[in-house]
Amino acid sequence: MYLQIRRELLTKLLVERGWRKTEFAKRLGIDYSYLLRLLKGERNPGGKFFSVFMNFCKEENLDFEDYVYIDINAGKGKES
């Protein structure tokens, strides 16, 4: 089980607010390349991302829970 980001909603938020991805990454304090990989689904968000994104949501009066979900299938099928 892993906490995941709703990529489509995050992308929609950027468009609605008129934020460039570079600006958004800077506001979150994360690398632009990391943000791009998150949005493309090439990278899963980690604890740092969720921490800064939660604070960002509070500052912007957004509901953090709208942008995240628990992926109950993550990691299944892998042998230890």
All residues at 6 or more sequence positions from 75 whose CB lies less than 8 Å from its CB, including other chains: 1, 2
d(CA 44, CA 23): 20
Q: Under a CB-based contact definition with an 8 Å cutoff, are residues 64 and 53 in contact?
A: yes
Each residue of 20-39: pLDDT tens digit?
999 999 999 999 999 999 99
pTM for the model stands at 0.82
Each residue of 29-78: pLDDT tens digit?
999 999 999 999 999 899 999 999 999 999 999 999 999 999 888 666 55
Q: For residue 79, what pLDDT band results from cuts at 50, 70 and 90?
A: very low
Give CA torsion, residues 62, 51, 73, 7, to 10 deg. 50
> What's the pLDDT at 2?
86
User: In CATH, which of 2.40.50.200, 3.50.50.60, 1.10.260.40, 3.40.50.10490 is domain 2-71?
Assistant: 1.10.260.40
Q: Under a CB-based contact definition with an 8 Å cutoff, are residues 38 and 49 in contact?
A: yes
